[in-house]
A and B are shown apart, each in its own frame.
Chain A
Amino acid sequence: MDFSYSSEQELLLDSAKKFALKAYGFERYQATLKLRGQLDPEIWKQLADFGWLALPLPESAGGLEGGASDVSLVAEALGAGMVLEPYISGLILPGKLLSMAADEIQQKRLLEPLAEGNLQLAVAWAEPGDRQNPAHCATQARADSSDYLISGEKLCVLNAPNAQRLIVSARVSGRTGETQGLCLFEIDPGASGVTLTPYAVMGGGTAADIAFDQVRVPADALLGKAGDGFDALDAALDHATVAACAQALGAMSALLERTRSYLKVRKQFGTTIDSFQVLQHRLVDMFIEIEQSRSMVLMAGVRVDSVDPGARRHAVSATKAYLNQASKFVAQQAVQLHGGIGVTEELDVGHFFRQLTAFGNLYGDRERHLDRVASQPRAS
């Protein structure tokens, strides 16, 4: 048993913190909010130069083949520094998905430019009414001579407004809710029959709802084997979920630090408000929730790489269920303890608050993950 970081991980953590907490900043974040797609090409290129885009990708496609624990380190630092780049939706989710589902040629074609920072991807999987269960896919893929015709609707596809390529889940067989019959297709967002409705996402980033109307794609747009897409999508979503949890942990820690500092300088009744017990205890409650969350993120960073899908799902869903609740608590208390200034646009606390609210709704709500915990076979 060992919860400490390796020397390589210490270096990675150190450089990630340096970038996110020193080089980046609230001003850069605010400027990026106004950019097209809320994406700063200069920053994205920097992430590529640091090797952080290559980090989760396979060596065969120009990646560094780092583990989820490594990814978590970077994601946590980006969360603490509120770095507004699609690291999870544009890298971890599509990167992991392609690593697991696509053949060698497809990987080379898509992952190499992804690692270099020259390709924006988005994964279109969630649908209206699916409760973010990837098996609940109603989008259809119908074979038509050597092509496929794709029809359906996808909801809140993160990073889609920036994406040059979409990876889309669709069903060749089986009923909605079944894991068998799912396929993954690479689709050009400019293709005929694809309609994007782009929008800004609360808390940062952009997304689009996407309609596919008889979109014709060639057979080689199918990633991997027909009908076998679910396992890869399920696993890739778990990887994205853990990275999102690490990012949320970073934001929670940042909020604790800001709240702590504020209590020490804000004066009322002739004294700094950190002298009031009710506020002290609230700060302690935030701290305890963050430490427990950190334990879960460390655990999930190991288990999500497990070869046993049951162990992976159990660990990831337990972590998301825990952090959904803890992050909401920490964010709400941070705003409350800041008082009026906490609800303003000008202070970063409110922006962290928005991000953590969004985190709760992304990659599954607490109840869905609790049910997933309950449904995994229990190791004796």
Chain B
Amino acid sequence: MDLEFSPQDQAFRTEVRSWMRANVPPKAGPEIGLPSHLETQSAWERKLGKKGWLAYNWPTEFGGPGWSATQRYIFDTERAAAGAPPSSPFGLSMLGPVLMAYGTPEQQAKYLPKIAGGEEFWCQGYSEPGSGSDLASLKTQAVLDGDHYVVNGQKIWTTQAHWASNMFCLCRTNNDVPKQQGISFLLIDMESPGLEIRPIMTIDGHHHLNEIFFTDVRVPVENLVGKEGEGWTIAKFLLSHERTAIAGIADSLYQMSQLRTAISADDSLNEDPLVRRRMAALEVDLMALEYTNLRTLDRAAKGKEPGPESSGLKVKGAEMQQAISEAQVEFGGLTSLAWQSEHEGGHDLFRQATTRYNFLRASSIYGGTNEIQKNVLAKILLSGV
């Protein structure tokens, strides 16, 4: 039992910290920690890409730095602590690992370098109007026609589709088998004729989400990943990567430290014993989450499969982000009420608190709702005698 990072890991932390200090723009975006502006996000990701640190979770053979799980965690906490936004996960944490496991050498060569370099954004074509939690019921059709699939249907809640050059998409290629077995995983160029993007504005007042309409969109067969009908297996593989990546612990640590700073600048908050107690309660919850995460990293470092403790991380991670953000809004009081205003006054954190709070309602919805996570976990817990 040892809670300290090794000297090598500490040296690594120092290296990352000093690079972040020198390279993170003073304000990485108007809403700190939220990717909502293409230019700032894109410039930041390219900068990381140039350094070789954008695809920080990738092995060296595919252009990543080949870091250990512990190093990745350190990198992510230092990234967040420097006030930089998380990178867009669709290419890096979702498609990347899928192509490494299921892609052809051609697909890997064509797409992976651009993702690692921050040159292209991807989006995820999963949810449909009638298929949310019950994803396997999806209806978007892909019908083989010579050397193309012809895609018809609709996707929804597609984050950053308006930034993306490509989409990875689940489509139905067979209606005559059980629903999970008739799904295929296609890569679709967003410039394809017949593909239409409509924005969906969200309660944080920003444009993250979209609806996508496919009308006879032709997709070359070489854009099929894995075999036809293997889409559901790939989707599950992808989700297992997504769930550990989106607990958002590094960002929660950063948001707590920001909140602490904002409170200490305001005597009426700073001297309120109930505010102190609520902050301590958040801090304790965050510690429990952080050490649970460290346990999973330790297992990974020893080459073991994730233990059951990792399954709850997404659920608790989402609740944590929401709880910190809720405190930010409430402690911000009237300062938090100015809406989409450029005016100065009050602490930055409090002025942006409602935007973040509204945005983070999605954290317990995307990547499989917390209720779906619990279904999955219940199945594991209740299996066996």
- Which residues of A line the B interface, CB within 8 A? 1-6, 9, 67, 69, 260, 263-264, 274, 277, 280-281, 283-285, 287-288, 291-296, 298-299, 301-303, 318, 321-322, 367, 370-371, 373-374
Contacts and interface: CB of A to CB of B under 8 A. Distances in A.
Interface string B365-383: 0000001001101100110
Interface of B: 1-6, 9, 70, 273, 276-277, 279-281, 283-285, 287-289, 291-292, 294-295, 297-299, 301-302, 308-309, 312, 315-316, 371, 374-375, 377-378, 381-382, 385
B171 to A, nearest CB: 29
Contacts of A287: 308, 312, 377, 381
A1 B287 contact: no
DSSP class of A's interface residues: helix, strand, loop or mixed? helix
A4 B296 CA distance: 11
Q: SS class of chain B's interface: helix, strand, loop or mixed?
A: helix
B6 A291 contact: no
A292 B288 contact: yes
Contacts of A69: 1
Contacts, number: 117
Contact of B292 (A6, A292, A318): A292
A302 B279 CA distance: 24
Of B9, B285, B298, B378, most buried by chain A (CB within 10 Å of CB) is: B378
A296 B287 contact: yes
27 contacts: A1-B70, A1-B301, A2-B1, A3-B294, A69-B1, A274-B382, A277-B375, A277-B378, A280-B374, A284-B378, A291-B312, A295-B288, A295-B291, A295-B292, A296-B288, A298-B1, A299-B3, A299-B291, A302-B1, A302-B2, A318-B283, A322-B287, A370-B284, A371-B273, A371-B277, A371-B280, A374-B276
Given A291-B292, A296-B291, A373 B280 contact: yes
Contact of A284 (B2, B3, B301, B381): B381
B291 A370 contact: no
A69 B284 CA distance: 20
A318 B375 CA distance: 30
Nearest to A366: B281
Contact of A263 (B1, B277, B377, B382): B382
Q: 3 closest A-B pairs (Cβ-Cβ)?
A: A280-B378, A288-B312, A295-B291
A236 to B, nearest CB: 21
Nearest to B4: A1
Contacts of B2: 1-2, 302
Given A280-B382, A296-B288, A370 B1 contact: no
A2 to B, nearest CB: 4
> Which residue, of A2, A288, A371, has the highest number of chain B Cβ atoms within 10 A?
A288
A133 to B, nearest CB: 15
Nearest to B298: A3
Contact of A303 (B3, B280, B315): B3
Contact of A2 (B273, B298, B309): B298
Nearest to B288: A292
Contact of B316 (A3, A277, A288, A302): A288
A19 B236 CA distance: 42
Given A284-B374, A373-B284, 5 more contacts: A287-B308, A292-B312, A299-B291, A302-B3, A370-B280
Contacts of A6: 1
Interface centre among A284, A296, A322 (most CB of B within 10 A): A284
A260 B288 contact: no
A219 B125 CA distance: 80
Contacts of A303: 3
A373 B282 CA distance: 11
Given A1-B70, A321-B281, A370-B277, A260 B381 contact: yes
A371 B276 CA distance: 8
A266 to B, nearest CB: 13
Question: Which of A2, A274, A291 has the most chain B CB atoms closer than 10 A to its own CB?
Answer: A291
